[in-house]
Structure 1
Amino acid sequence: MPLIEMLQVMDSLVLLCLLLIGTTGAISVEEIFEKWQSGIGREYSNHYEKMFRFGIFKKNMAMIDGLNEIYQERGMVFKENSFADMTEKEFAATHLFPRRSPATFESASSHQTSQKLRYLPTSFDWKGKGVVTAVKDQGSAGTCWAFSAVQNIEGQWAKLGKPLTELSVEQVVDCDGNKDAEKEKADCGVFGGWPYLAYQYVQKAGGIQTETDYPYCCGLGGGEGTCFVCPAPGYNKTLCGPPSEYCKTSDSCSAKIDPSKFVAGLKVSGWQWFGQNETDIAINLLNIGPLSVAMNAGMLQFYHSGIYDPLFCDPKSLDHAVLITGYGEEKTILGETKKYWTVKNSWGKKWGEDGYFRIARDKNKCGIATQVTTVELEII
């Protein structure tokens, strides 16, 4: 066979192989999608919606592959999860709050670093020590700020020697319309808020109910038990934007709150901010308990494991609030030592590292050190 014909045959074989590989890859993504849909119990209303979601899923899988290629040497792993059929905008609209600049406080208002510790242990975590409740799932609502604040209160209550008690996030979401006009910050229910304002709400209200007495319902996505809450008293349209178009007064604060069921003896006396020195934050974490923080969570949608350390992450544009429970360090595959925070999220236990993630420490990564706060409870 002449050389030119051999080359033509080889070109044809290569093209055929590429076509087969592309076909196999497409089938593979379809199979992954079917297994994913079955595994999480996702249902679609019709074939067209399913195909639309499959298109988003396919794009997300390609993005996940790209992220893993970029960050594998940095020890970060990304993987499809329950958010895999959502666009970035859909995810942000349902699980984050609109990005806002950090609140700033006078240095005099920051908590002085405790002097109880003469050295900082290499690692520490409050998980398993009776002051951290189970991982929750905020669902399709921007209520992370309330979860972060309430979980901080839970930890401080347990640190006083009280039984570890799950407190009502829904009460804070429904009833807290607090605002800080000077700093142009407000608590906006399902549209976001600030833990420091949530502490102030609980202080003004005189207490908080348990999760059992006032259960979470606003983020259930329209499923059974979903509530459609009207804006909290004092809701600020200027700072929060227009409220939900549809609500039910029977689902709202005035219809459900019952001060007679506030946890006996749990009284908020104030709150503290801790500045941005991450060594001081670690010391205070050790001495005081889990701390509320806010951050930029733009790339967390498909986080699966490892120390979260994205190359680009604006620390002055915050859209999520979480709870730091511990810290530590580990060796990377490149042999460097990386320090990290251990953080409790509110996206369910199947997300990330059993509902937690680790994020680089001593870098103010994604603004993790800008809004570190804790509630102060009356000691009785």
Structure 2
Amino acid sequence: MKTICVLLLGAILAVEANYRNVKFSDPHQEFKDFKIKFGKSYKSWDEETERFSAFQDNLKKIEKHNSENRSWIMGITKFADLTRDEFIQTHLQGYKPLGVAKPSVARKNNINIADLPESVDWREKGVVTPVRDQGMCGSCWAFSSASLISSYAKINDMSHDLVEVSPQHLVSCAPNPLKCGGTGGCMGSVEPLAFTYASLFGVVTEEEYPYTSGDPWGAGDDEICKFDATKTDVTAMTMGFETLPHNDMEAAMEHLANVGPLSSAVAASDWGLYFGGVFDGCPYDENIEVNHAVALIGYGTDPAEGDYWLIKNSWGDMWGDGFMEGAGGFIKLKRNSSPMCGTNNTPLSGNGCVDGGVTSQHVCGTCAVLFDNSYPIGTTYMK
């Protein structure tokens, strides 16, 4: 087994080395391969020409980035036919942090990082559901929430099978009357509203309420709630949610080590072409726009690239860290020993509750990963 692992690691490193030195000599062939691999088709020749233009620009970006020997590599992901602005508009409009104060958990005193495990990965404990794909819907908040509800139900009853609860149930049924993070459904919301909904009505399984809102031709599915609380037995319920102290690295690490995963708000505008390694591509001297929700499932240290936070995303398994090994969908964010901070200057451009009055937010950690972390409390299986 050890020999197999060493050979596999060698193969992975060889693929990564090749990607660092990649030269795309035939963009047309690369585009053909890309369309086949990711099942891409376009409605017209004009649209295909436009997508190919964006694809060519991304190939140049990938070549340049990977030649600079950074801690992470870029590659041809399913987003490679989009410009950065198009990527943000189509895949990062579903998480907007609350523009008002939220209840926080009192920080535990005297947290000593040296006393915590060197690495944590909740996948190893069998409490993390498979990576999903939110598709063309701003429902990251629902996927992050559903992932956390499933994890904590399992953590609180390890004798029960891990059950995947339905993001669609939350997308279609969790109300957002104050328009926090959008107007609800595919137009954005926040995890605390999902956790609160689950405390009142519970959540059914993915099998009972399958996800359909990610289909661009399935418009309207996010606006019609097909759940009847008077007739349906739910699978899991919460007692609400709690929030960690904002921008507190020790609190986040202690929680991950001793309690469970976290639902995390992040700035993901530059993640589209991420292919592996420890990502450090969110500059602190520019606007850090928090626009996505993910599941923070651990932390660790890469022997070459240093400390990282481990994140489960909702863009499918043909993206991100693990993609080259057939188990993608994750990203490792650089974890500095002393967190660096910056400012989100655009919380009101869709990034807060209507009339919230917040004009800026102090955010810390790579891509603001320490800014806003929450989790469901009292989560239990009901059947």
TM-score normalized by the length of structure 2:
0.76
- How far 1:121 moved relative to its partner? 1.2
Q: Which residue number corresponds to residue 330 of structure 1?
A: 302
Q: Name the SS for the 2:124 alignment partner.
A: coil
2:32 to 19, 31, 34: 34
Which of 1 and 2 has greater Rg? 1
In the TM superposition, what whole-angstrom CA distance separates every residue of 1:237-286 from its partner, at most 9, and x where no partner exists? xxxxxxxxxxxxxxx11xx113243434x322121111122122111112
**1:367 corresponds to 2:362:** no
**1:342 corresponds to 2:315:** no
| Preserved CA contact (<8 Å) 2:105 2:242 | yes
Q: Which residue number corresponds to residue 283 of structure 1?
A: 254
Q: Which residue number corresponds to residue 15 of structure 1?
A: none
Q: Which residue number corresponds to residue 290 of structure 2?
A: 318
Q: How many Å separate the matches in 2 of 1:100 and 1:320?
A: 7
| Preserved CA contact (<8 Å) 1:111 1:273 | no
**1:132 corresponds to 2:124:** no
- How far 1:178 moved relative to its partner? 2.6
| Preserved CA contact (<8 Å) 1:176 1:187 | no
Aligned residues: CA RMSD: 2.6
- How far 1:209 moved relative to its partner? 1.0
Q: Which residue number corresponds to residue 227 of structure 2?
A: 257
Q: How many Å separate the matches in 2 of 1:103 and 1:113?
A: 25
Q: Name the SS for the 2:175 alignment partner.
A: coil
- Matched pairs, number: 320
Change (3 A) 1:113 1:186: farther
In the TM superposition, what whole-angstrom CA distance separates every residue of 1:72-127 from its partner, at most 9, and x where no partner exists? 2x311001111111222222122111785665646x73254499998111111001
1:49 to 27, 47, 50: 47
In the TM superposition, what whole-angstrom CA distance separates every residue of 1:5-29 from its partner, at most 9, and x where no partner exists? xxxxxxxxxxxxxxxxxxxx89611
Q: Which residue number corresponds to residue 189 of structure 1?
A: 185
Q: Name the SS for the 1:258 alignment partner.
A: coil
Q: Which residue number corresponds to residue 209 of structure 1?
A: 204
Q: How many Å separate the matches in 2 of 1:174 and 1:323?
A: 21
1:109 to 95, 104, 113: 104
TM-score normalized by the length of structure 1:
0.77
2:141 to 137, 141, 145: 145
One-letter amino acid of the counterpart of residue 351, structure 1: W
Q: Name the SS for the 1:293 alignment partner.
A: strand
Q: Which residue number corresponds to residue 168 of structure 2?
A: 170
| Structure 1 unaligned residues grouped into runs of 5+ | 1-24, 232-251
Change (3 A) 1:361 1:103: farther
Q: Name the SS for the 1:170 alignment partner.
A: helix
**1:376 corresponds to 2:346:** no
Q: How many Å separate the matches in 2 of 1:284 and 1:55?
A: 45
Higher helix share: 1
- How far 1:369 moved relative to its partner? 0.7
In the TM superposition, what whole-angstrom CA distance separates every residue of 1:307-361 from its partner, at most 9, and x where no partner exists? 11115156752100000111001233xxxx6211110000001101111010012
Q: Name the SS for the 1:109 alignment partner.
A: coil
Aligned runs of 1:65-76 on 2, under 5 Å? 65-70=63-68, 72=69, 74-76=70-72
- How far 1:133 moved relative to its partner? 0.5
Q: Which residue number corresponds to residue 272 of structure 1?
A: 242
One-letter amino acid of the counterpart of residue 214, structure 1: Y
Q: Name the SS for the 1:50 alignment partner.
A: helix
| Identity among equivalent pairs (%) | 29
Q: How many Å separate the matches in 1 of 2:31 and 2:161?
A: 43
**1:358 corresponds to 2:354:** no
Q: Which residue number corresponds to residue 242 of structure 1?
A: none
In the TM superposition, what whole-angstrom CA distance separates every residue of 1:203-223 from its partner, at most 9, and x where no partner exists? 23x21111111110011122x
Q: Name the SS for the 1:165 alignment partner.
A: coil
In the TM superposition, what whole-angstrom CA distance separates every residue of 1:278-316 from its partner, at most 9, and x where no partner exists? 122111112221110011001000000011111515675
Change (3 A) 1:230 1:146: closer
In the TM superposition, what whole-angstrom CA distance separates every residue of 1:34-88 from its partner, at most 9, and x where no partner exists? 1111222212234333222211111111122233244x2x311001111111222
| Preserved CA contact (<8 Å) 2:24 2:30 | no
Q: Which residue number corresponds to residue 4 of structure 1?
A: none
Q: How many Å separate the matches in 1 of 2:115 and 2:183?
A: 38
Q: How many Å separate the matches in 2 of 1:43 and 1:179?
A: 37
